[in-house]
Chains A and B, each alone.
Chain A
């Protein structure tokens, strides 16, 4: 029983890491621009298809595909920002959010037109063979996904803390005016934020597509990740990570202890419970205004 539980937690952490990455994408854009990008899930889906194209149609080696996909995802993010968001930047936030929803629909349909709506298998460099370590049963795939995700999160942390651009992004998130006064090009920072968010979505896509098969409706993962971000406190980066991981583990455990029906709603039940107790999420800061 403990053995089964342990393996459930490990595979839950693997899916949770992917949710965490996507949630991070949401939070980064939100912190910098106050916009919730509902096309984030579609970035994941698109990167899955891009890696499929490079791997299967062009036969490129796996590691090259990994990096090229992330690069192309980043470019996609910038394109979306320039074409969809920037022209309507002065509109109410709600309008921009609706525009991102529109973009997500367009992306989904485009994928359907090009690749069809059938489900496609994506090969992976991480083997799905089982390994036993004491009481733990897991696969190299699980370890690979968790490892990559943690590496990315660490890289982002270092980027934000120690590089000039990272600091500029943090500054812009805190106050656009002050950052501009300090010589930061806010427009460039916005583009960079979208590029990084989309790139993270890209990594998530490359990691998860081999696990759950590829099809244009893959973007639905964005909804779960969004819930994870809210759980952790929307606007908090560590919150997004913890929220996503918690969600992944919880889903698996509720599926094991209860049934498939409960598993589906466990995400939202947890969300409601947490928000009742802590309305700003686990790590969210309660906004205080000085009068």
Chain B
């Protein structure tokens, strides 16, 4: 009889202990925001096929946050960035997003890298009502997905329209081929290009795809050569263009290679050498060597916090995202909630960060901050400006 009572007592004590150890009541009115801190999450690729982008985007963002935190934070709150590696694989991205939202309780998801990976976490973020701010993917999807997603720069679809217009109107090419990654990233630009070509009464003379993280393109090179295309549009990242160019040249085929912003990276030139000379890219934010107060600050911050990382378009990309986010935080004020932040972003008009480009929250139902783009070309082993900034009047694929 006594043992019976004792074990019940132990059980009751246990239950009481568990009940008493509930987490403390929320310290602020919003998830991820405390009196002193804002917790921001990011899922990027640090060790996979686009690691060069991931590592640098993270560094660019941290450079801004470090500087801002040292100056006391935004409205008295410091920004804490938590990043997890998804290796450019959608299933891992989902697992990491869950960790960030449920365990780390982040305020927003910032700069999530990769189109297929971000697409995989899209519905989850919407369900949990976590804003997906300035994801590191310029697919047009983010600009038309509703309240919880905000893009920052001209989309791949916009950029491909620009490319097609350039090829058809200025270079008078009629035989244009498309080499694209067979997933949401490649298809965005590829399909937008197809639509734009139709406007000129044309179509792709060859459509050649490759699987994400593929490394050999000899069959694609053969097909492209056979088609006789004058220009090949590369819906790819930084590993594929140099390899494709090399393999095309190996079979005696030398078309014009042109592609959207992900190819405009130092790595492309490092891997491709003379094979990528003359390759054209689209950039949607300045080159790290451009002049201006914003870029001076960028160079100073990178030198201070990441002196071992080379200045590259990849870190400018992360840097400008973080700078835009900080601006939005400033405008939201001390009363920080997810809705307040989204409203503040929607109110940004004609904000020039200091490089002559203006960020304006886009009207016409597109949730994006800038529609400017510029062509650049590899000249003497460096990406160099080909012309001035162009504001894309019409949008690409919606």
- Give A213's nearest chain B residue, CB to CB: B271
Q: Are A137 and B52 in contact (CB under 8 A)?
A: no
Q: Are A252 and B219 in contact (CB under 8 A)?
A: yes
Q: Which one of B59-67, B246-254, B277-285 contacts A?
A: B246-254
Q: Are B218 and A11 in contact (CB under 8 A)?
A: yes
Min CB–CB distance A137 → chain B (angstroms): 5
B149: CB under 8 A from chain A?
no
Q: What are the interface flags for B247-274 relative to A under an 8 Å C-beta threshold, 1 for contact and 0 otherwise?
A: 0011110000000000000010011010
Q: Which residues of A contact B182 (CB under 8 A)?
A: 260-261
Q: Are A252 and B218 in contact (CB under 8 A)?
A: yes
Q: Are B52 and A128 in contact (CB under 8 A)?
A: no
Could you tell me the distance between the alpha carbons of A137 and B225 in the complex, rounded to whole angstroms? Answer: 12
> Given contacts A119-B52, A255-B220, could you give 20 more A-B pairs where the C-beta distance is less than 8 Å?
A4-B222, A116-B55, A117-B48, A119-B238, A119-B267, A128-B246, A138-B250, A212-B216, A213-B239, A217-B48, A252-B216, A255-B216, A256-B222, A260-B182, A260-B211, A260-B220, A261-B209, A263-B219, A264-B211, A264-B214
- Give B273's nearest chain A residue, CB to CB: A121
Using a CB-CB cutoff of 8 Å, which residues 162-210 of chain B contact chain A?
182, 209-210
Could you tell me the distance between the alpha carbons of A119 and B52 in the complex, rounded to whole angstroms? Answer: 8
A289: CB under 8 A from chain B?
no
Min CB–CB distance A219 → chain B (angstroms): 13
Q: Are A137 and B267 in contact (CB under 8 A)?
A: no
Q: Are A255 and B252 in contact (CB under 8 A)?
A: no
6 CB-based A-B contacts, threshold 8 Å: A4-B251, A117-B47, A138-B250, A251-B216, A255-B218, A255-B220
Q: Are A256 and B252 in contact (CB under 8 A)?
A: no
Q: What are the interface flags for A1-38 relative to B under an 8 Å C-beta threshold, 1 for contact and 0 otherwise?
A: 10010011001100100000000000000000000000
B385: CB under 8 A from chain A?
no
Min CB–CB distance A45 → chain B (angstroms): 13
Min CB–CB distance B396 → chain A (angstroms): 24
Could you tell me the distance between the alpha carbons of A227 and B246 in the complex, rounded to whole angstroms? Answer: 28
Q: Are B215 and A212 in contact (CB under 8 A)?
A: yes
B82: CB under 8 A from chain A?
no
B51: CB under 8 A from chain A?
yes
B102: CB under 8 A from chain A?
no
B243: CB under 8 A from chain A?
yes
A290: CB under 8 A from chain B?
no
Q: Tell me which of B55, B216, B222 contacts A118 (CB under 8 A).
A: B55
Q: How many residues of A contact B (CB 8 A)?
A: 35
Q: Which residues of A contact B250 (CB under 8 A)?
A: 11, 128-130, 137-139
A112: CB under 8 A from chain B?
yes
Residue with the highest number of chain B CB atoms closer than 10 Å, among A7, A8, A260: A260
Q: Are A118 and B225 in contact (CB under 8 A)?
A: no
Could you tell me the distance between the alpha carbons of A139 and B267 in the complex, rounded to whole angstroms? Answer: 24
A132: CB under 8 A from chain B?
yes
B74: CB under 8 A from chain A?
no
Min CB–CB distance A286 → chain B (angstroms): 35
B: which residues have CB within 8 A of A? Answer: 46-48, 51-52, 55, 182, 209-211, 214-216, 218-220, 222-223, 225-226, 238-239, 243, 246, 249-252, 267, 270-271, 273
4 nearest A-B pairs in the assembled complex, by CB-CB distance: A255-B219, A117-B47, A256-B219, A117-B51
A175: CB under 8 A from chain B?
no
Q: Are B220 and A130 in contact (CB under 8 A)?
A: no
Could you tell me the distance between the alpha carbons of A138 and B252 in the complex, rounded to whole angstroms? Answer: 9
Q: Which residues of A contact B48 (CB under 8 A)?
A: 117, 217
A90: CB under 8 A from chain B?
no
Q: What are the interface flags for A206-228 relative to B under an 8 Å C-beta threshold, 1 for contact and 0 otherwise?
A: 00000011001100000000000
Q: What are the interface flags for A121-138 relative to B under an 8 Å C-beta threshold, 1 for contact and 0 otherwise?
A: 100000011101000011
Q: Which residues of A contact B46 (CB under 8 A)?
A: 117
Q: Which residues of A contact B273 (CB under 8 A)?
A: 121
- Give B219's nearest chain A residue, CB to CB: A255
Could you tell me the distance between the alpha carbons of A137 and B271 in the complex, rounded to whole angstroms? Answer: 23
Q: Are A8 and B222 in contact (CB under 8 A)?
A: yes
Q: Are B243 and A213 in contact (CB under 8 A)?
A: yes
A259: CB under 8 A from chain B?
yes
Could you tell me the distance between the alpha carbons of A133 and B316 in the complex, rounded to whole angstroms? Answer: 47
Q: Which residues of B contact A261 (CB under 8 A)?
A: 182, 209, 211
Q: Are B249 and A130 in contact (CB under 8 A)?
A: yes
Q: Are B270 and A121 in contact (CB under 8 A)?
A: yes
Q: Which residues of B contact A118 (CB under 8 A)?
A: 51-52, 55, 267
Q: Are A112 and B219 in contact (CB under 8 A)?
A: no
Q: Are B209 and A260 in contact (CB under 8 A)?
A: yes
Could you tell me the distance between the alpha carbons of A174 and B182 in the complex, rounded to whole angstroms? Answer: 48
Q: Which residues of B contact A116 (CB under 8 A)?
A: 51, 55
Min CB–CB distance B279 → chain A (angstroms): 16
Min CB–CB distance B178 → chain A (angstroms): 13
Using a CB-CB cutoff of 8 Å, which residues 231-278 of chain A contact chain B?
251-256, 259-261, 263-264
Min CB–CB distance A248 → chain B (angstroms): 10
Q: Tell me which of B211, B225, B271 contacts A121 (CB under 8 A).
A: B271
Residue with the highest number of chain B CB atoms closer than 10 Å, among A8, A15, A254: A8
Q: Are A112 and B47 in contact (CB under 8 A)?
A: yes
Could you tell me the distance between the alpha carbons of A41 and B115 in the complex, rounded to whole angstroms? Answer: 30
Q: Which residues of B contact A138 (CB under 8 A)?
A: 250
Q: Are A15 and B271 in contact (CB under 8 A)?
A: no
Q: Are A4 and B252 in contact (CB under 8 A)?
A: no
Q: Are A213 and B215 in contact (CB under 8 A)?
A: yes
Q: Which residues of A contact B220 (CB under 8 A)?
A: 255, 260
Could you tell me the distance between the alpha carbons of A15 and B225 in the complex, rounded to whole angstroms? Answer: 21
Could you tell me the distance between the alpha carbons of A119 and B270 in the complex, rounded to whole angstroms? Answer: 10
Could you tell me the distance between the alpha carbons of A259 and B220 in the complex, rounded to whole angstroms? Answer: 8
Min CB–CB distance A141 → chain B (angstroms): 8
Could you tell me the distance between the alpha carbons of A260 and B220 in the complex, rounded to whole angstroms? Answer: 8
